[in-house]
Structure 1
């Protein structure tokens, strides 16, 4: 299914579009407007080659390029469609970085083609339940050009372990010497496994362990993604298997299905049971999809802290309903985060009668009929009323946690779940906190609630400023929330509504700005909200592609115009 700017016929067009949009947005290209034959083009020169495209500049300076409009000049033949490979070759990056980018973009194109050739897509996704919708939302990241890179995945792997094909598979299990493993469990170990696996699977794994000469006195249990097992058995795991540090117990237990993130799995046999997030040695979008080692056993105390904060504030129940899917257990057996698992509450038992749930990124999509996924909701409830309710339900819980409590969460499209009744937003569900919560100690409303990170792991005591969860400046909290919730998330919704529903982005963001102002006044939080600087004329935002092109782990930022600034509040 398409994004608003997507050319559905050729995956190469979308990859090239998002690559150019990111380069322009992050100011990696020096571009200007020129007129030709009655058309306005955004033009630039790269390594001696002239390029142009038709585009507009949306909210937060997001570049929205018209699909299929990118051209490069050939002296003897004039303007012709641009070449992706030639564009990559000209990028300002080290050869090894360009080579890696070429591989990831080619894989993205290949897997998109596979989806189109092999998947039977429904005429509309509007009536799918949450699990089916997670699989059917095959568009991937709407900004990053490597949105389906999945390095190391063959087409067979994509078919068996990618979310789009909805394949079901069992986890594989390792017994790990206890001296090589750390775990944070909510109960006594055998009770935990009996609750998670059931008696039959626990007995089966125990029998296999005993058959290999092991016992639970000396070994503990760890699940692995079957792809990770195949990928690492002859490398990372080889020596440990040979020396008996690890014992392979084989596949067992319930069947799972990949979510949009690939590494987080739903229990397909018993949907009310936990989601499991497993380390995978692959790069997708910007990140290696292992688990940050420090975060695995910190996940349960972080979840207890956050759920305690939410439970302590009546506004999260009465005005800004917020549900957190707690990460309640974590196990890690290797210090690079390649053998690790985190257990997270399932959404399904938390849905009330009459409620339905959709991943938040569904709101920015189009269906095969050319209408937005949310078109029927808008027709039923009215665009203006529905949008006001969306702000109440999807923005204000995250904003209240930041302004009133001093806690910033990474609220992007895959981490957010919108709960609705017949399309009317009623509450927000957030997930995935173990690597993406930030705070400034002096800005916390209840600092005594924060977990004692220094006692959890030596790495926290030795960490550099801004390396883990505690930040030095409030600006970093503002950036995390506004980047993930506004710049790379709600801006996709505002773009959709302008292109397909006649609501200008100016009106969208001026209305949200007014609602944030009213929020602060209603709760006497003007001073705290002002400290965030959320309505400054310009803001710094993360440069995701620049970081990738740099080939290092340093964060890069660039300035963008802010539609929440009062100077921009003109309704249209």
Structure 2
């Protein structure tokens, strides 16, 4: 039987589809369901809304957006989409901010469709090419392309989609304004990273200002960020020679899906460079949290030690964040000052450096994509190995290592679709690589397996002395660890895969999650010594809490927002 085919929605229609799905999922409006005709209805603002759709795994709503009616009138979403935002139950200021994000999301998405190559398929693309070819953006958040401050020129030059390359700019920072966590002394570090020629050129530029590395350290800055800062708060430091502009680097870089993490295009084995950018994309500000930059190498080393100590984690690798440096000012509060997160760098191992002969890798979110030929990215792999065998192997290599790290070691990581890399051989899942830990590793003091192995964060970053629970790495409850892992791995990641599978293949979402549940049962049987720890996680509860991403934006809240959802891993739902 041939597979069904899907077409991409116009960007403004997709914005509204994901906005309404998020509102319903997060229970921001009260919805009634007519099961017999799969129609959902609710009142919002001045409108009575109805739409056909269904409720999938974890209570995720999946709407047939072209069936939307308001006050019993069928509407053309592509024309009337902005009017829907006026009905949102939030303040005028937040509506204005959202409209700005949504308009830019539409404009940048449309730029992509008008200017990018019309690829029939990305299935044969390399990992580095997929990082710019996967242009769909966040599958849940309606602001999936809202890069505040980006115009078309910046989008073309520095966005990942066009795949254009650019050079980093380089600054010398007076040591009194620089905090570093380098594996060796700065001269040896930078000579190794940049090569002798580039290091010599930058040293010569510093010498031209009658200064030496005895008083300064080196720091790259994204060229877009340089344009944002050089005439602002940076200007005074430049005038005082606390910061000296040294010129443009030699290596060519290209942006990944996250925009601020860059791949070395000249030498793919060279590290990724993560640089702050003064923008909001989806729901996150893309500067670097100042406290996390110099903690990054310590967090990575902690995780590597844990993984290396446990043979059951052989299928899990991390991209080591082995160096960090940032602008530092003792007069500013490191936990809240915006300036301190605007000038920094984290060096991270590349995916290519972790691949063996015969290995290929893809960003995990490629698995949930549909190509321009109307078929899933994974269509050829499923056909080659069979749906049942391929799905079972995918669940085994993806879920179990992350679950084991949580259950046995008490460490929660954030493996959402962009943070997770699938290593495969001819499409057969082999293992996973995870990344991005400096801000997104969590533990609970009562649940951590080896408390002595946890870095002394406050000793390294004194600003975290007496830090409140739940703001950084230490969580107040085991429940929050469960939420982090299940949110990112299950609810906003694998639920997209199970939804896609249910559309194209004879495997319902319920059956997909039964298979996940079976794998977790098998894990529990193989680890009877961990039964108490598993029960503490409460992952079989009929209802679990998940983060309310859109609600936080609509309420203008900086704190956490949560709502309860049905859990397909619960015994009641199996």
Interval of TM-score (by shorter of Structure 1 and Structure 2): over 0.9
Q: The residue matched to 1:441 in structure 2 has which SS?
A: coil
1:90 counterpart = 2:87: yes
Q: TM-score w.r.t. structure 2 length?
A: 0.95
Cα deviation 1:175-225 (Å, max 9, x = unaligned): 111101100001111000000000110011111111123211111111000
Q: Can you give the 5+ residue segments of structure 2 that lack an aligned partner in the other structure?
A: 329-333, 335-339
Aligned 8 A contact 1:278 1:340 in 2:
yes
CA separation in 2, counterparts of 1:455 and 1:540? 33
1:307 counterpart = 2:304: yes
Aligned 8 A contact 1:6 1:67 in 2:
no
Aligned 8 A contact 1:540 1:559 in 2:
yes
Q: The residue matched to 2:93 in structure 1 has which SS?
A: helix
Query: Taking structure 1 as reference, are residues 322 and 26 closer, same or farther at Cα in structure 2, changes over 3 Å only?
Result: same
Query: Taking structure 1 as reference, are residues 143 and 6 closer, same or farther at Cα in structure 2, changes over 3 Å only?
Result: farther
Instruction: Tell me the equivalent position of 1:10.
Output: 10
Aligned with residue 522 of structure 1, among 523, 526, 529: 526
In the TM superposition, residue 170 of structure 1 has moved relative to its aligned partner by 0.5
CA separation in 1, counterparts of 2:252 and 2:68? 45
In the TM superposition, residue 34 of structure 1 has moved relative to its aligned partner by 4.7
Instruction: Tell me the equivalent position of 1:27.
Output: 27
Aligned with residue 162 of structure 2, among 150, 165, 170: 165
Instruction: Tell me the equivalent position of 1:60.
Output: 58
In the TM superposition, residue 6 of structure 1 has moved relative to its aligned partner by 7.7
Runs of 4+ in 1 over 6 A off after TM superposition: none
In the TM superposition, residue 113 of structure 1 has moved relative to its aligned partner by 0.1
- Once the two structures are superposed, the pairs formed by residues 387-536 of structure 1 within 5 Å of their partners are 387-524=391-528, 525-536=530-541
**Quick check: 288-297 or 522-531, which moved more?**
522-531
1:181 counterpart = 2:178: yes
Aligned with residue 547 of structure 1, among 536, 552, 561: 552
Aligned 8 A contact 2:220 2:345 in 1:
yes
- Once the two structures are superposed, the pairs formed by residues 185-196 of structure 1 within 5 Å of their partners are 185-196=182-193
Instruction: Tell me the equivalent position of 1:221.
Output: 218
1:268 counterpart = 2:272: no
**Quick check: 137-146 or 506-515, which moved more?**
506-515
Q: The residue matched to 1:323 in structure 2 has which SS?
A: strand
1:370 counterpart = 2:374: yes
In the TM superposition, residue 9 of structure 1 has moved relative to its aligned partner by 4.9
Aligned 8 A contact 2:181 2:297 in 1:
yes
Instruction: Tell me the equivalent position of 1:360.
Output: 364
Aligned with residue 71 of structure 1, among 69, 85, 88: 69
Q: How many residues align?
A: 558
CA separation in 2, counterparts of 1:337 and 1:80? 44
Instruction: Tell me the equivalent position of 1:133.
Output: 130
Q: The residue matched to 1:222 in structure 2 has which SS?
A: strand
Aligned 8 A contact 1:177 1:219 in 2:
yes
In the TM superposition, residue 567 of structure 1 has moved relative to its aligned partner by 1.4
1:197 counterpart = 2:194: yes
In the TM superposition, residue 40 of structure 1 has moved relative to its aligned partner by 3.8
In the TM superposition, residue 41 of structure 1 has moved relative to its aligned partner by 2.2
Instruction: Tell me the equivalent position of 1:566.
Output: 571
Cα deviation 1:207-256 (Å, max 9, x = unaligned): 11111232111111110000000111111211111221111112112110
Instruction: Tell me the equivalent position of 2:42.
Output: 44
